[in-house]
Structure 1
Amino acid sequence: MKSFLILKFTLLLFIKVSFAQNGYVQKTFQLPMSNEAKPYFVKLVGTDYLLNGDIVVGNTLQHTRLYQTSDRNSFIWPKGNVPVEIDENIQQTSSVKDKSNMSLYDHVVRAISSLNSTNLRIVRHTNEKDYIRIKMVGPQDLGYNGGSSPVGKQGGEQVIKVTYDVTSRVIAHELLHSLGFWHEQSRYDRDNYIVIDTSNIEEKNRHNFQIEPGTPLGEYDYKSIMHYDAYGFAKDPEKPVIRCKNGNTISDCKFGPGPYLFSDADIKAINTAYYFNAGLAKAVYREYMVKPAGTAFQNSTGNQDRLTNVGVVPITTGWYKIKVNQTGKYLAIEGISMDNGARLVQWDFVDQGNHKFFVQELGGGDYQLSALHSNKYINVAGQSKADGSAVIQWDWANQDNVKWKIIYRAKNEGGLGGWEIKNKNSGSPLCLNNMFSKNNGEFFIVKNPVYEDGAYEPVQTFSFERITEQQPKLREEKLYEKSPGMLKQVKKN
């Protein structure tokens, strides 16, 4: 018996030393979406315990388990905005470009902007108590080049760590962990879809394939951004670690979304988990400067010579049809409505008052636009500065949300040259909710161009087609009632 106990002790000591040498320890955690605490092999990196390579499940500074509930919804961020802070040490890398001519900062912004094209609403952190912080660390701090993140909302500040040479895909992967998503190849049902060759996994990475908790939000997705590569952690880089399984048929295959950041199923899963945001305006992460879309000439007296030099007629006070260059449709007030709050939409031109607009110079490069049929003014609803805010008609008020800058874009990358219309209150351009939609009734919002897939989306541009027909006397009388100083300006033009 004594010899057996000595042998057992020696074996346990050997196992403990073996795990310690590879950085692994066995700890018990109740992980998000799990009904009970279970033992997992985790790697101790600094003060963090990492599960399956990059998931932070606890740290040496804690006295209690990190997670204490099985309720999935408690790890999903609540309706509305998810505050994210890009650490200053990442912002300082903006001038250091990789072979794709992008800095780490560019990659972070691309990942955030791409996620914002789904039901997610990621915004810059200000004073919110609960938020995500993305921080750059050295490879020695993670034990490899890559990233790490907890899964789901923890409360307070939660940190995503990335090394300096990661791409948008790694950052998006870690963000999805923080937003409540697990690895695809560690689903409870993964053995129905893949085969893992454990003999070809480096010993130090053997425990990166443990089953994780959670309920998948769809069918198994080989193309998910949350799926390991076929050759990840391979001892022999010529042989795959993961192969596809279809019944009794085993075959080599590729994993991940290919040239894209997300698979179709990724997007569906995100939109399902964050379904409650579907009706909210899209968010734009505003910690970066929006890249100018080509040469811009302000439509003001000081720049009229420059406009003339490039063959562009400056816009002066008068009546116009306003065409959307990307779609060929025209601005109109929805339903010929006379009511405050009626939306600005695009429509095939109809020769009626809700398709004609009076453009009034106010001085200092500011303009206001009003509809002929209603004498109401085009403005951003509620003086909102948020991207995605509705553009409507309303009675005139001397406020900046009623005032617009009209700027000529001599060259618009990825789009068409023409006039850009920017709201003075928010500084955001006027654009269709779907920039290239040719549907009658597509409504207008204000929104800055989004950085995605290595470039900024184009700016919506417009053509101002002057109407030379005599305008009704009623229009001048209405203007005079609003402001006596306007009557003289109308008659002069």
Structure 2
Amino acid sequence: MFPQIWGVIFLFTPTVFSELFKDPELLAGFYQGDIKAHPIRTRNGIVNQIYHWPNRTVPYMIEDDAFADSHYREILRAISIIEENSCVIFKPATEMDFPMALVITSKGLGCNTVHLGYRNKTQVVNLEIYPLGEGCFRIGSIIHELLHVLGFEHQHVSQNRDQYVSIQWKNINPQYNINFVNNDNSTAWHDFDEGYDYESVMHYVPRAFSRNGQPTIVPLREGAENMGQRFYMSEKDIRKLNKMYRCPDHV
């Protein structure tokens, strides 16, 4: 229907999974495991409004014949969770919306996003087919990728992370060290005054990119029992999103 987008979709060439856990959010060859293009490092949420979706609206298309009805409905459920908890709207894209819409496909390996935030070009999310509740079709994994689309990076690289977690460099496969670096101070970063969030759906799992099965991220405070969960948006996730998009009562 929209031929100009297919070249973008095929950017998702197959890559080798993280050797140890085969977690579809932790792909080799992707920045931090699930981002195709190296992002502007904003250290948790993008503040610059040029990277926010205009009018708080994301035009999207779910690729024809890419998903079974049950998977299609699960994507819509993730979208509805974000909409119910914020002022952000996802609307089916019209032909006029391209090439600046979100395309959701299943052509590549893993669950991943091309860009963080709005980039005035086609955005693509890949969700590899898994049984519902597993892999890329954990509801939190779909929400995770959609929050990347809206402008959030991973929680574990926030500037204040060393007060809350200890990165176990000795346990990280060295080729993936870049996925844990958070020393870029060249661009604005913001946690929207919500602080570090162990429970964020944007947090890495404790053994992400481990070389030996040992933890790569160790919490330093209480309250980290659900670190890396992929079941729901945390309360802080919801408040950050509303503040980022200046939703009523959250400015």
Secondary structure at 1:177 match in 2? helix
Do the aligned partners of residues 155 and 77 (structure 1) sit closer, same or farther apart at CA in structure 2, a change above 3 Å counting? same
Contact 1:240–1:252 under 8 Å retained in 2 = no
Specify the code of the residue in structure 2 equivalent to 1:244: P
Distance, in Å, in 2 between the alignment partners of 1:235 and 1:44 is 13
Do the aligned partners of residues 44 and 193 (structure 1) sit closer, same or farther apart at CA in structure 2, a change above 3 Å counting? closer
Which residue in 2 is equivalent to 1:186?
Answer: 157
Distance, in Å, in 1 between the alignment partners of 2:140 and 2:32 is 18
Output one character per residue of 1:83-137: Cα deviation in whole Å (capped at 9) or x when no partner: 111111434x22xxxxxxxx33232111111111122111111132421111112
Which residue in 1 is equivalent to 2:92?
Answer: 124
Backbone CA RMSD of aligned residues:
3.1
Which residue in 1 is equivalent to 2:218?
Answer: 243
Output one character per residue of 1:327-386: Cα deviation in whole Å (capped at 9) or x when no partner: xxxxxxxxxxxxxxxxxxxxxxxxxxxxxxxxxxxxxxxxxxxxxxxxxxxxxxxxxxxx
Do the aligned partners of residues 276 and 146 (structure 1) sit closer, same or farther apart at CA in structure 2, a change above 3 Å counting? closer
Q: Calculate the TM-score normalised by the size of structure 2.
A: 0.72
Candidates 31, 35, 49, aligned match of 1:55: 35
Specify the code of the residue in structure 1 equivalent to 2:232: L
- Map 1:70-85 onto structure 2 (within 5 A): 72-85=48-61
Do the aligned partners of residues 157 and 277 (structure 1) sit closer, same or farther apart at CA in structure 2, a change above 3 Å counting? farther
Candidates 103, 106, 114, aligned match of 1:133: 103
Which residue in 2 is equivalent to 1:171?
Answer: 142
Do the aligned partners of residues 116 and 252 (structure 1) sit closer, same or farther apart at CA in structure 2, a change above 3 Å counting? closer
Distance, in Å, in 1 between the alignment partners of 2:127 and 2:112 is 4
Do the aligned partners of residues 170 and 78 (structure 1) sit closer, same or farther apart at CA in structure 2, a change above 3 Å counting? same
Distance, in Å, in 2 between the alignment partners of 1:84 and 1:277 is 24
Contact 1:243–1:251 under 8 Å retained in 2 = no
Which residue in 2 is equivalent to 1:107?
Answer: 74
- Map 1:236-385 onto structure 2 (within 5 A): 236-237=212-213, 239-246=214-221, 253-257=225-229, 260-276=231-247
Candidates 223, 229, 234, aligned match of 2:205: 229
For the pair shown, the structure with the greater C-alpha radius of gyration is 1
Structure 2: segments with no counterpart, 5+ residues: 1-15, 17-26, 41-45, 131-135
Distance, in Å, in 2 between the alignment partners of 1:161 and 1:235 is 26
Secondary structure at 2:103 match in 1? strand
Moved over 3 A (4+): 250-254, 276-279
Matched, 1:160 2:125: yes
Do the aligned partners of residues 241 and 114 (structure 1) sit closer, same or farther apart at CA in structure 2, a change above 3 Å counting? same
Q: Calculate the TM-score normalised by the size of structure 1.
A: 0.38
Matched, 1:88 2:64: yes
Distance, in Å, in 1 between the alignment partners of 2:114 and 2:108 is 15
Distance, in Å, in 2 between the alignment partners of 1:151 and 1:256 is 20
Do the aligned partners of residues 208 and 80 (structure 1) sit closer, same or farther apart at CA in structure 2, a change above 3 Å counting? closer
Relative contact order (C-alpha < 8 Å, sep 6+): which is higher? 2
Shift of 1:274: 1.6
Contact 2:56–2:245 under 8 Å retained in 1 = no
Higher helix share: 2
Secondary structure at 2:49 match in 1? helix
Secondary structure at 2:61 match in 1? strand
Distance, in Å, in 1 between the alignment partners of 2:36 and 2:143 is 16
Distance, in Å, in 1 between the alignment partners of 2:59 and 2:91 is 5
Which residue in 2 is equivalent to 1:375?
Answer: none
- Map 1:372-451 onto structure 2 (within 5 A): none
- Map 1:20-39 onto structure 2 (within 5 A): none
Contact 2:113–2:149 under 8 Å retained in 1 = no
Secondary structure at 1:185 match in 2? helix
Which residue in 2 is equivalent to 1:202?
Answer: 173
Shift of 1:72: 1.0
Shift of 1:54: 1.4
Segment of structure 1 superposing worse, 207-216 or 108-117: 207-216
Contact 1:182–1:226 under 8 Å retained in 2 = yes
Specify the code of the residue in structure 2 equivalent to 1:113: S
Secondary structure at 1:133 match in 2? strand
Secondary structure at 1:106 match in 2? helix
Do the aligned partners of residues 277 and 162 (structure 1) sit closer, same or farther apart at CA in structure 2, a change above 3 Å counting? farther
Secondary structure at 2:66 match in 1? helix
Distance, in Å, in 2 between the alignment partners of 1:177 and 1:151 is 5
